[in-house]
Amino acid sequence: MKTTEIEKLYSLRKDFTVIGITGRRGAGCLEAAEIITKDFKTNIRKGKIRNPTDLKDLDTNHIFNRKYKIVFNYAEENWKKYKVLYYRDIVLLHLTSLTNEEILDEIIQVYENADYGFEIKIDENIKYDISNLLDKYKENNEEIRNLLIDSKNKKILKITEEKELIKLYNSYFGNNGFEEFAKKFYAILDNLGISQRINLTHRLGNNLRGSGNPKTDNPRYKNLNTPHL
């Protein structure tokens, strides 16, 4: 009988699992993600995971206490740290398929538009910093970008070959990789205005879901109300 793709994936579940964490800003998603990126002992030391001996408010034979010990003992032996892929970083990865001018235009459309909350002027120094950061990232990651990006149609390509996936992993999490670039990119935008940055990533995400392209002439949602994000 032919093995399905999903069966192949499940056969790897001890070596490869994906956990999706979603929720509103302030719901604890970032804290949960931080916990699973640390080793088990570090989480206990920092009080992120409680040791069963700390459950002094419950009787040792209480059903919750017994269940917790089972889960704790299993996790202690099988815990593995995770790498985090942030939603905003995946949106940014798609955005880098555009030219620097197009990327700046998308930023300006949100930050300098009062419909998105507050009008914040993007001066020439900020534009230069963003363009310079983009240039350095593209220069340092030219090989993987050639594999990943269809520059003609400005789309992210599907990678299935194992050796290419390893290159993609290393270029994402390695030195001068995408993860490091994304932190610097969003630090610039957050310094200008966090609400606008949130609106920007949601606008781009909605465009991606609607057309497959982060930049469109007719975005699905022109105005996003930040408190509802």
Per-residue pLDDT of 38-47, as tens digits, reads 999 999 988 8
Q: Decide: helix, strand or coil at residue 156.
A: strand
- pLDDT tens, position by position, 146-190: 777 776 766 777 777 788 888 888 888 888 789 999 999 999 999
- Looking at the fold, whether 121 and 216 belong to one and the same domain comes out as yes
- Looking at the fold, whether 149 and 69 belong to one and the same domain comes out as no
Residues linked to residue 211 through DSSP beta bridges, in sequence order: none
Question: Which pLDDT does position 18 carry in this prediction?
Answer: 81
- Looking at the fold, whether 4 and 59 belong to one and the same domain comes out as yes
- Looking at the fold, whether 190 and 220 belong to one and the same domain comes out as yes
Q: Decide: helix, strand or coil at residue 201.
A: helix
- Looking at the fold, whether 103 and 215 belong to one and the same domain comes out as yes
> Which residue range forms the structural domain that includes residue 117?
87-228
Residue pair 167/144 in contact (Cβ under 8 Å)? The answer is yes
The most distant pair of C-alpha atoms in the chain lies apart, rounded to whole Å, by 66
Domain count, the chain: 2
- Looking at the fold, whether 77 and 146 belong to one and the same domain comes out as no
- Looking at the fold, whether 107 and 214 belong to one and the same domain comes out as yes
**Which pTM does this prediction carry?**
0.76
The amino acid that residue 73 corresponds to is: N
